[in-house]
């Protein structure tokens, strides 16, 4: 059987109202204590009875919780006004930046020789001095960059020359002894000015003669005497 819901309304009987108040208050405080313990929350309850009697519950310090509530309420009020303040501040910054941009644009046009009719002689003279000073700085900067580029090119040239010399020193020496020996063998000359071909011809002619001792031919050719013997 479903439990009948009681209508929530003021209890007319003062005695019954007091009994209900006491029961409900104890239950409310118990629930508040459970909420504070289970959820590690700061809970404060303030209850005034119909007779003006104060009943309160605080999980920690009532004054500390009330101060925290007051601070939070003030912050909520400030947060409501913050968007308006932010918009006003952004609008002020935007206006200031627009004025600075317009002034800088005008000065730039005047530096290029435009819109000079409204300027006084003093302002024109001051502008002339500024232009001369700026031109001098430009020339100095250009000369400095030129000198820096020349110095860098000179350093690169020195490095290339050193690298070239290092490569030349690392190249292997070409052997020339074999070439000279081959050339001497090919064009061999005797001490009497004869070529190797003449020497061989003389040797063959000496061998064809019936001469038991070929020392005479060998000596004439400047060779060992036993070279012609078999």
Q: What is the pLDDT of residue 131?
A: 87
CA–CA distance, 10 with 51 (Å, rounded to integer): 15
User: How many Cβ atoms sit within 10 Å of the Cβ of residue 199?
Assistant: 17
Mean pLDDT, the chain cut into blocks of 10 residues (230 residues total): 73 88 92 92 90 88 87 69 65 83 85 81 86 89 93 94 91 56 49 48 49 48 48
* Cβ–Cβ < 8 Å for 134, 141: no
Q: What is the pLDDT of residue 39?
A: 92
Q: What is the pLDDT of residue 164?
A: 92
CA–CA distance, 140 with 125 (Å, rounded to integer): 23
Q: What is the pLDDT of residue 122?
A: 87
CA–CA distance, 152 with 64 (Å, rounded to integer): 74
Residues 6+ apart with CB under 8 A from 33: 43, 57, 59
Residues 6+ apart with CB under 8 A from 43: 32, 33, 35, 36, 57, 58, 59, 65
pTM: 0.33
């Amino acid at each position: 059987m479903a439990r009948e819901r009681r209508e929530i309304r003021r209890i007319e009987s003062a005695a019954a109202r007091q009994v209900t108040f006491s029961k409900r208050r104890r239950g409310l405080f118990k629930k508040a204590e459970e909420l504070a313990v289970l959820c590690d929350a700061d809970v404060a309850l303030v209850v005034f009875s119909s007779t003006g009697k104060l009943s309160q519950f605080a999980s920690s310090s009532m004054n500390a919780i009330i101060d925290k509530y007051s601070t939070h309420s003030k912050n909520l009020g400030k947060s409501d006004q913050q968007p308006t303040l932010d918009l006003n501040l952004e609008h002020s910054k935007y206006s200031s930046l627009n004025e600075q941009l317009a002034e800088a644009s005008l000065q730039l046009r005047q530096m290029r020789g435009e819109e000079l009719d409204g300027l006084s002689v003093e302002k024109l003279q001051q502008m002339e001095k500024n232009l001369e000073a700026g031109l001098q700085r430009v020339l100095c900067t250009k000369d400095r960059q030129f000198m820096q580029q020349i110095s860098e090119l000179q350093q690169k040239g020195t490095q290339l020359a050193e690298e070239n010399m290092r490569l030349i020193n690392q190249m292997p020496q070409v052997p020339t002894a074999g070439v000279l020996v081959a050339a001497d063998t090919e064009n061999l000359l005797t001490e009497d000015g004869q070529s190797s071909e003449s020497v061989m011809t003389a040797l063959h002619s000496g061998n064809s003669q019936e001469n038991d001792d070929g020392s005479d031919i060998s000596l004439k050719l400047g060779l060992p005497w036993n070279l012609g013997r078999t």
